Structure 1
């Protein structure tokens, strides 16, 4: 059951390729289900004065959904398109996030933490933000935000749960207890997580999450889906063969899929 639930396209500003290009690529590589999941518009910073090309403008959001739904119908019978959103968890913006989540007919919403305040810890242009900071304090702040995202009830699964490691900045102290607490929060919420294969092309050189976290997630009984986090059509499905191999080795036998915000487990 070849699926890819995490993708981005030109509308967000930092990806390339139109949505239909991803759909055609998905058909070409044999995807059974393709999740379209572009970034939610920025809520807590002024897009005009912040770093450029971070997310789609707010007035593009309805156009994005309309296009996804049109493609879902157009390619019915060739590929099963699921309409999604990567919805940043921004502390203090809960009402705005909830409004977006409720306003559209999503199949699923990914809960991801990119921002700690106005600092996007996943943006290569902002790595200087680590300078002079207590790394353990940053990790504590990040994983606390993941826990709040899980508890919010806005999302269907947590995206790249340990993406804080993306650029290789790690505390000297052990962070296992922070990772475990985040997974426990996901379990309490009844949510899933993803195995995001894109970590293999970052300085972390490791998928999100780590194998250790995958093993603990399985122990907790947390459902799991997969995504390439492709920002170019040619990267659709990238490294997912390795992701599936790791999941089999760890002991996962099913994948989480989503339809109209309902979790559906499938064998793979």
Structure 2
């Protein structure tokens, strides 16, 4: 079962290619399902005053959905197109997020933490925010947000749950025990909530040079019975499925035998 549940396209401003080019690339690769999951419009900052090219404008959201539905029908004999959204978890904006999610016929919504207040910890233009920070304290804030995303009930699975490591800022060696305890606590919360996570292969091409999450966290997730899906986080049609085979192999080595797939906000487990 070949799937890629995490892709972006030109509407978000920091990806290239139209939606159809992602679908046709997945067809070319022989995929069974392709998930279209562009970034939810920004809610907690003014897009006109914030960093440019972060997410699709709110006025583009209906057009995005219409195009996804059109492509789902157009390619129904070639591939299953899933209509998704990567919905940032922003504490205090749960109502606004829910309004967007409930307004459209999504197959799934990814719950991702990019923001700590107005700081996008995954944006290379904002790494200066690490200066003078206690790294472990930032990790505590981040994993607190991931736990709240899991508990919110808004999402179908959680995206790149340790994206905080992207630019290789990590707690000190003497803080490793506290750091690993944070990861474990977060995974336990996720397990209690019964929500899957994704193995996001894009981390291999980032400064951290490691998938999201790490094999350390994946092994714990398996022990806790947390379901997993996979995604490339492609921002270019040519990146569809990139390193997803490696992700699948890692999951098999750990012991996973199934992947989570989604349709109409319902989860279906399929053989890996």
Per the TM alignment, residue 181 of structure 1 is displaced from its structure 2 partner at its CA by 1.3
State the 1:129 CA deviation. 0.6
TM-score (norm 1): 0.99
Secondary structure in structure 1 of the residue aligned to 2:83: strand
Tell me the CA shift for residue 101 of structure 1.
Answer: 1.0
Residues 126-137 of structure 1: pairs in structure 2 closer than 5 A: 126-137=126-137
CA distance in 1, matches of 2:153, 2:245: 31
Which 4+ runs in 1 deviate beyond 3 A? Answer: none
| Alpha-carbon separation, structure 2, partners of 1:181 and 1:97 | 25
- 1:223, distance to aligned residue in structure 2 (A): 0.6
Unaligned runs of 5+ in 2: none
Q: Tell me the CA shift for residue 180 of structure 1.
A: 1.1
What's the secondary structure of 1:31's corresponding residue? coil
Aligned equivalents of 1:77, 1:251: Cα separation in 2: 33
Q: Does 1:50 align with 2:50?
A: yes
Instruction: Provide Cα deviations, 1:243-263, integer angstroms capped at 9, x if missing partner.
Output: 011111101000000011111
2:256 counterpart SS class:
coil
1:5-41 CA-partner distances (Å, limit 9, x unpaired): 0000000000000000000000001110000000000
Q: Which residue of 1 aligns with 2:231?
A: 227
Looking at structure 2, the residues matched to 29 and 144 of structure 1 have their Cα atoms a distance apart, in angstroms, of: 38
Shift of 1:92: 1.2
Could you tell me the TM-score, scaled by structure 2's length?
0.98
Q: Deviation of residue 158 (structure 1)?
A: 0.5
Q: How much is the aligned-residue C-alpha RMSD, in angstroms?
A: 0.5
Please say if 1:199 is aligned against 2:217. Answer: no
Displacement of 1:233 in angstroms is 0.3
Gaps (5+ residues) in structure 1? none
1:1-268 mapped onto 2 (5 Å cutoff): 1-172=1-172, 173-174=175-176, 175-268=179-272
